[in-house]
Structure 1
Amino acid sequence: MKGSPKIRWPSWLDAWPALVGFFFFAWIENVFPGGSRPYSLAWVIVTYSLITWIGMFLFGKYVWLKRGDPFSVLFALFARFSPTEVRVAKGGNKNVCVICISGCSANAYEKSDLQGCVDCYECWELADDAHKEFSIRPWAVGLSRGERVSPAVVAFHITALASVTFDGFSETPGWVAIQTLLWPFVDPIPGSAIQTIESLGILLVPLLFASVYILLCGRVSRLSGGEMPQGEVIRSFAFSLVPIALAYNLSHYLSFILISGQQIIPLVSDPLGTGLNILGTAEYVPNIGIIDARFAWIVSVTSLVAGHIVSVYVAHTISLRRTSNHIKAVKSQYPMLALMVFYTAISLWIVAQPLVN
């Protein structure tokens, strides 16, 4: 087959390389002192690009992007919230899914509730035009499709959720207090004490999130009367946290995008910093008053509450698919509801810190 990979991706490797890559970029953003220097970032981008090209050449582009590339895995998670999907219609996906090497939704997850092959771009490329469908769907429907994803994907999603939370928490007085507490123990270690503490934070916060999630999934399993084994709950309900993650990302980065994003305006006229003024915008000064604290708070509260509501709905929908009656579905969701309320409250507290301090 044209474009066949040179090396077959080991099944045990799953998407763990993508998780390692995500940890690396999270460390660059939150800890690495050169994370804001163009020269350092240029080398990071070049290295990342080389690894991506080599990975796609050796393992095939779809396999690498689905299991080895951190950004593709992250955006695939977030894309499940979108109102669009590509699908190889049922009846036309039999042959292409058999030869799909990236692990499509129709054959990678046992007991899948999917009708047809959804959002697998390898199958989409291989399928006949008559069986290709581009569909419009309600927002967030893609989060409750019924797959039991792999442990690596669950770990990746929890890490993505935890890392952006840590990014916000690291700017609060609470984190300063933790740094002060740990300083006497870390200071004797060679190297920067601040970077060591930040590195521990970026590593331990996802582990804390994962521990709480696994613990509550066990409780969900018990409340379902054993109809949902704990492993199935862990692998099925990870997507229910995506709306809250999206809402928190919006809240956390809104000011940054609207204010720092204005730097694009002068850069389009002088992209290389050589003194050009191609479009006459090189002298533009960003307007830091484009949003105020009140507007930022309203958007943050609205998005986080809306994300919480959608997450509860997604979790309830998944539960209805897995239990024999509505009462069990509702009861089993009490622990997940508590988790979502707690995370939403923590997110609101973090977002509010720059406004009250």
Structure 2
Amino acid sequence: MSGAAKRSLDVPTWLFLLTGGGVIGASFLLASFVTDRAFIRRVHEWRRNRTIPFERALVIGGKTAGVVGVCFVIGIGFFGPREATRNAAVLVVWAGWWSGYTISTYLIGNAWPVLNPWRSVATVLPSLERSYPERFGAWPSVAGLLALVWLEVVSPVADQPRFLASVVVGYTAVTLAGAVAFGSETWFSTVDPISRVFRYFGRVAPLYRADGTLGLRLPGSGLDEAKFVTSRAEVGFIVAILWVTTYDGLVATPLWRRVAVPLVEAGMPAYPLYAAALIVGYLAFAGLYAVAVRYSKRHARTYVDADALAYRFVPPLLAIAAGYHLAHFLGYFVKLLPALGGALSAPLSPPDPVAIVLPAWFGGLELAFVILGHLLAIWIAHAAAYDVFPGKLQAIRSQYSITAVMVVYTMVSLWIVSQPYATPPFVS
């Protein structure tokens, strides 16, 4: 069910990647010329707020739609057609929700607190209100996100409707049990990985909800808040968001096939291989960011704690993750829209699926999304540096290593997006 159309480059790959990395480096140089703190503050603090009309009705409608939606997915998953491309449950989850809805969270705004069906159900269940161990922090959500993406890659959850429905039932049971044990507010704000993904992506979006009003801000400005990230676990989760989208694309490249096939043929089990690649890649991304933060502290010659710098400079990675997610999933969403519409029109006996053939220029649009996400990240990090450091030269120097890491992330993302799709081996 997942994948992208094959793309080809009219220029040498090495030149293409260097150009993309060069664009990010050049954008840092251009951003460095903007040193007016008042101007930066005005840009990031610009807001417009309006009262939400019919808010109560919208909330009730959203909660109802969420609960009905998850029941629909479970029911059609178990009793609908067995073919993934004709089953509305599979299409709703992967094309409609994980692709289309996720895109809306960072392009428009995050409505998941209202739509979340598990939260709606949990609020009417009794709660044991057990104390959540503070030492765990957000780490369970990091493990949960990595586990969900590993399951999506190695299992038939995207190809077998019955299996998908079973996974949704299992996730429902675990989520509601956790909400009952620790309270719905604690569970969905701290532990639940899906809620955290959408909440963080919502910070990239221009629309947000606050105190009964609908607010409008410039895209990405919601990431530039001093107390947005306050723990190493939250840093780890943002790095995980960036990595799992990269991983999902990486295992569908010809390079991964050339690496994985000989290892499995030599006797290495496929599932642990994919898990090892997921964990090693995550640790590499996290380690690269940690090194960048240490060099940021050194170059800035500051007494500000390294953890404090890590908290302030990690939110821009969400802009990078959003740009790459858009590049990776927009084409998939557009191609399957007709099939999704047909399956929803007759869930038990849908018509033969129809897919949109994307034009050749669409590949260039995907590459542009990656670049735009990185450019936004450069600006957000630049603004954060001017908020942290009193000196202009300190602020600029602090971004040397952060920008270098972003260049590396850019080149990896561009390389993956530019590769022809290859079905991941040894998974079903």
Q: 1:233 is matched with which residue? A: 309
Aligned counterparts of 2:272 and 2:137: Cα–Cα separation in 1: 29
Q: 1:169 is matched with which residue? A: 250
Shift of 1:66: 0.9
Shift of 1:176: 2.2
What secondary structure is seen at the aligned counterpart in 1 of 2:129? coil
Q: 2:67 is matched with which residue? A: none
Q: Deviations over 1:44-71 (max 9, x none)?
A: 1011112222222222222111111110
RMSD after superposition: 2.2
Aligned counterparts of 1:4 and 1:25: Cα–Cα separation in 2: 26
Q: 2:194 is matched with which residue? A: 71
Aligned length: 297
Aligned 8 A contact 2:313 2:381 in 1: yes
Shift of 1:249: 0.3
Q: Map 1:249-328 onto structure 2 (within 5 A).
A: 249-271=325-347, 273=348, 275=349, 282-283=350-351, 285-289=353-357, 291-295=358-362, 297-328=363-394
What secondary structure is seen at the aligned counterpart in 2 of 1:11? coil
Aligned counterparts of 2:327 and 2:419: Cα–Cα separation in 1: 12
What secondary structure is seen at the aligned counterpart in 2 of 1:13? coil
Aligned 8 A contact 1:300 1:348 in 2: no
Work out which structure has the larger RCO, using CA pairs closer than 8 Å and 6 or more positions apart in sequence. Answer: 2
Q: 1:215 is matched with which residue? A: 291
Aligned counterparts of 1:311 and 1:325: Cα–Cα separation in 2: 21
Q: Deviations over 1:9-63 (max 9, x none)?
A: 2211211221222122111111124552111111110111122222222222221
Aligned 8 A contact 2:339 2:355 in 1: no
TM-score, with length taken from structure 1: 0.77
Shift of 1:303: 1.2
Q: Deviations over 1:106-131 (max 9, x none)?
A: xxxxxxxxxxxxxxxxxx5xxxxxxx
Q: Does 1:331 align with 2:412?
A: no
What secondary structure is seen at the aligned counterpart in 1 of 2:420? helix
Q: Does 1:57 align with 2:180?
A: yes
TM-score, with length taken from structure 2: 0.65
**Which amino acid in 2 is paired with 1:173?**
P
Aligned counterparts of 1:258 and 1:326: Cα–Cα separation in 2: 45
Q: Map 1:1-357 onto structure 2 (within 5 A).
A: 6-87=129-210, 133-147=213-227, 148-180=229-261, 182-183=263-264, 187=267, 189=268, 193-271=269-347, 273=348, 275=349, 282-283=350-351, 285-289=353-357, 291-295=358-362, 297-354=363-420
Judge which range, 23-32 or 171-180, deviates more: 171-180
Shift of 1:298: 2.2
Given the superposition, is the C-alpha separation of residues 340 and 283 from structure 1 closer, same or farther in structure 2, using an over 3 Å criterion?
same
**Which amino acid in 1 is paired with 2:223?**
L
Aligned 8 A contact 1:223 1:331 in 2: yes
Shift of 1:284: 5.6
Shift of 1:74: 0.6
Given the superposition, is the C-alpha separation of residues 285 and 34 from structure 1 closer, same or farther in structure 2, using an over 3 Å criterion?
closer
Aligned 8 A contact 2:294 2:306 in 1: yes
Given the superposition, is the C-alpha separation of residues 287 and 136 from structure 1 closer, same or farther in structure 2, using an over 3 Å criterion?
same
Aligned 8 A contact 2:253 2:421 in 1: no
Judge which range, 18-27 or 306-315, deviates more: 18-27
Note the residue ranges of structure 1 that are not aligned, 5 or more in a row.
88-123, 125-131, 276-281
Percent identity for Structure 1 against Structure 2: 27
Aligned counterparts of 2:204 and 2:245: Cα–Cα separation in 1: 18
Note the residue ranges of structure 2 that are not aligned, 5 or more in a row.
1-123, 423-428
Shift of 1:134: 4.1
**Which amino acid in 2 is paired with 1:264?**
L
**Which amino acid in 1 is paired with 2:361?**
R
Aligned counterparts of 1:227 and 1:184: Cα–Cα separation in 2: 52
**Which amino acid in 2 is paired with 1:294?**
W
